[in-house]
Amino acid sequence: MQAARKPMRHGLRDIRVVALALFAVVGTPTHATSPERSPIPAETSALDWQVHEGGQVRALITNFGQVGSMPGSSAPYAGEPSAQWPGRSGVEYLWSGGWWVGATRQGEPHVTTGSYLREFDPGTGADDHIYETRAGAPSGSRAPSPDADDDEDGRIDEDWLDGRDNDGDSVSDEDFAAISDQMLASVFNDTDPSIVGRYPDHVPLGLLFRQHTLAWSRPDLDDFIGFDLWLWNEGAEALNEVYVGFFADCDIGQRVSSGLGEDDRARFWESTVAATLEDIQRDVEISVGTMFDADGDGGTTPGNIGFVFLGAEGGGAPAPALRLRNFRMFSGHDAYSQGGEPTNDAERYACLNGTSPASLPPPGATPRSPVLSAFDADYRILVSIGPFPALAPGESLHVAMAMVLGSTQQAMLQNAARAKILYDGVTADCDGNPNTPEECVVHWTTPLTVPVLVSEIEALRTPTGARLSWRLAEEARHTLRGLYVQRAAFESGPFLRRPWGLLEPATTTFDDSDLPPTAWYRLELEHLDGTSLVTRSVRLDGEATAAFSLDVEASEAARVRVRYVLAQSAETRLTIHDVSGRLLTTLRSSSLPAGTYSEEWNGTTNAGRRVPRGVYVVRLEAGGRVLTRKLLIPTRVAP
């Protein structure tokens, strides 16, 4: 019998730091200040968020059912990318969005929402955070890989990536499915007591949610983020006529201003799209709610954002046809009866199930006619699917969705169709028995899909030229002979190799000079077997970037060390904050010459109190710039 491999444990999660700009925009929100649009408070230390940067959509993901950073508000994450596309363009396509789940219980409709009301909560435990992984990660093998049963217990992917021992073997996170080039995993619920404290009228559905969000950096898959959502009924009563929806307040545009969003248009579209992914050609049925900026902001905001459901399983019935049950647009402060936003659960449920004013007709045998808003306005939209007849206690419902971007409506629809093909996946022999082949479906893959080895490619102009940087997957160092840097004057090419020749696989930066007026870069990866592939291309940013940097790390004893570099002499202030923005301590406040510096934090506040475990923010102000890093402390900082 083969000896069991030692699994990777996440009980004490690795400290990881993600670049954030949490405090760059603070103060009064630019949006209307109704109670439902107020910034989200941070009542628990487990609130967590992270920016998806695995593809061209840079979106903020939370562990409390919300998507987007609410730019211009006083939320602690308001300075983060909300849903920028393409890449680091700075053009936002979503202000805030979130899940809506509705059901009837004993004949009464109830709805739990992730935006604007935050009726989800991650809890307060040390493990209630966002976990990051990627395809090929240790303990993350999945079918059709022969190592899909990572812990060799006869089951596959039974121990979710959430810091807990889900399979009862006293080990955490030793057999989960790691999908895409960047996967963010979290668990939240609608029953936490703090939710009732915020919203006394909230009636919980008794649901536990597990969310995976997925991003790819391949050029044909990098314009969408995939969402996998599992809902478990942990209550004592059955939930009937269940609907799942996504609410989106887009406010599309390049910058946050008082008028942003006033020229948005909302659209529903449903038909068949002919699409190709790798060698797969299909006619894909698409039913999607979209938004776009009516005037394109002078060419800076030409894109369309769409929300499309890709699959559903469970809920007491076979997966329904994935046409939207409803597409609902809301504008301004109109009354609900005139198409305005719902104000209570009965109205919200009517928006989900298509019985509210201005709803779509029910889906039928043929596609429904397109719907386009009659004028430009500050629209919000809701898309929903269902009904799922019943979710009994202990039963689950799995729903997949994609947030899709494209330069035009047609390009967005093509990306949505590719997302659907990718989600539909392949059939595989999941039990390893050759006598029972192809007995399961592996979602989010194709026969030719392999993990992309290089991600987070960025080109920044420096005082002496340009610096290209990227992140290299650990497994690439064993499969690549090396890398070439290619440059072109235009996105369409032609791309030519830059000097230095073949770079070592471990290389993560390249400095270039003698630049043309515009420049595009990409990497050419040469494998040990002689084959090669190229990455997506990135445009060189237009302005020189001063070489300020900030890095945070913690030792095994959980002592925090902060290192920073000043490119020039500057008044410098280095501080630690909690997630709500409250100052905890000041590590440095003085004028410093250019150079490299290091400070250590012992985990105490200015008042000498030791901080509990949780999420904190390190903030560096120097030379008129602000850099921040998010820090997760799973245990108390050592004295």
- At 249 the pLDDT is 95
Could you give the CA distance from residue 539 to residue 369 in angstroms, rounded to a whole number? 39
- At 22 the pLDDT is 28
Provide the 3-class DSSP secondary structure of residue 196: helix
Report the 10 Å Cβ neighbour count for 298. Answer: 8
- At 229 the pLDDT is 97
Which positions ≥6 away from 219 have C-beta within 8 Å? 535, 536
Low-confidence ranges of the chain (pLDDT < 50): 1-44, 255-258, 450-452, 543-546, 556-557, 635-639
3-state secondary structure 399-457: EEEEEEEECCHHHHHHHHHHHHHHHHCEEECCCCCCCCCCCEEECCCCCCCCCCCEEEE
Per-residue pLDDT tens over the stretch 350-397? 999 999 999 999 998 899 999 999 889 889 999 999 999 999 999 999
DSSP label at 346? H
Q: Say whether the peptide bond before residue 122 is cis (omega within 30 degrees of 0).
A: no
Q: Which helix (H) or strand (E) holds 345?
A: helix 345-353
- At 370 the pLDDT is 97
- At 33 the pLDDT is 29
- At 23 the pLDDT is 28
Strands across the sheet containing 625-633: 17-20, 625-633, 614-622, 570-578, 583-592
- At 437 the pLDDT is 56
Which positions ≥6 away from 573 have C-beta within 8 Å? 586, 588, 589, 619, 620, 621, 622
Residue 406 bridge partners (DSSP):
304
Could you give the CA distance from residue 333 to residue 635 in angstroms, rounded to a whole number? 46
Cα separation of the two ends of the chain:
46
Domains annotated for the chain, with CATH where assigned, are: 17-424 (2.70.98.10), 457-539 (2.60.40.10), 550-633 (2.60.40.4070)
Which positions ≥6 away from 608 have C-beta within 8 Å? none
Could you give the CA distance from residue 433 to residue 56 in angstroms, rounded to a whole number? 40
Per-residue pLDDT tens over the stretch 90-126? 899 999 999 999 999 999 999 999 999 999 999 877 7
